[in-house]
Amino acid sequence: NAGVTQTPKFQVLKTGQSMTLQCAQDMNHEYMSWYRQDPGMGLRLIHYSVGAGITDQGEVPNGYNVSRSTTEDFPLRLLSAAPSQTSVYFCASSSRDLYNEQFFGPGTRLTVL
Amino acid sequence: KNEVEQSPQNLTAQEGEFITINCSYSVGISALHWLQQHPGGGIVSLFMLSSGKKKHGRLIATINIQEKHSSLHITASHPRDSAVYICAFYGGATNKLIFGTGTLLAVQP
């Protein structure tokens, strides 16, 4: 199993550009989440999904959209990138519910100029 | 007020030392995770516990629900243990994971 995969690993954007961060898992996990990690702060939840077709907002959802058309994929879209979105982004998945072990992707380091 | 506090923020130890990292939280919780993030950035789940104590190799995690406190212990530390250790928990009103800011551990040979 590949586990949780994320692409790209690195990305540089200009302010106002849009892009999609990809996340996929092959463990048939129902729960998937997107987090951002900034220096001096804990991981913060952006959006999460409890199953295909169901998404909800986390702590810092503004400027991001998600969709969950399949169990495997959970892309994160930046609609109009801003320098404040410079961060490292992690996707995570878990089975059944959030109380189970979380599996994290390798992360995407995004810089917005 | 932060819902979760980790201490220390930074820790340098000599190889072989016994290490303790602490996590205190201010809300009622149902489960707590300990995670490890290596310098390369990847995050790995070490433990999830809701009571008592768990052991895996040289790592031991304990939790005291009444005192709202958890500890991660590393016995016979090794340079490969150098990483950021993060506690995270479910609880409060949202039932979403809340993460501490992490403890940066450096184990010197």
Write out pLDDT tens, residues B8-26: 999 999 999 999 999 999 8
The phi and psi torsions of B28 (rounded to 5 degrees) equal: -70, 135
Closest partner residue to B100 (CB to CB) among A42, A88, A101 is A42
The pLDDT tens digits for B46-81 are 999 888 999 999 999 999 988 999 999 999 999 999
Nearest C-alpha in A relative to B3: A42
User: Measured between CB atoms, which of B35, B43, B96 is closest to A58?
Assistant: B96
Asked whether the beta carbons of residue A103 and residue B45 sit closer than 8 angstroms, the reply is: yes
Q: How far apart are CA B23 and CA B6, in angstroms?
A: 5
Cβ contact B103:B7 at 8 Å: yes
Look at phi and psi of residue A28 and say left if phi exceeds 0, alpha if psi is from -120 to 50, else beta.
Answer: left
Per-residue pLDDT, averaged over A54-61, amounts to 92
Quick: pLDDT tens for A2-40: 899 999 999 999 999 999 999 999 999 999 999 999 988
Distance between CA atoms of residues B94 and B103, nearest Å: 25
- Residue B80, judged by CB atoms within 10 A of its CB (0-12, 13-18, 19+), counts as exposed
Cβ A90–B43 below 8 Å, yes or no?
yes
A97 to each of A43, A48, A69, A88, B79, how far by Cα in Å?
19, 12, 19, 24, 35
Give A111's pLDDT tier (boundaries 50, 70, 90).
very high
CB pairs under 8 A between A and B: 53
Q: Residue A98 is nearest to which of B44, B97, B100, comparing CB atoms?
A: B97
Quickly state the pLDDT bin for B104 (edges 50, 70, 90): very high
Q: Which two tokens mark B105?
A: 């551990």
* Residue with more model confidence, B75 or B41: B75
Torsion sign (Cα): B46, B47, B52, B54: negative
Quick check: A56 and A43 in contact, CB under 8 A?
no
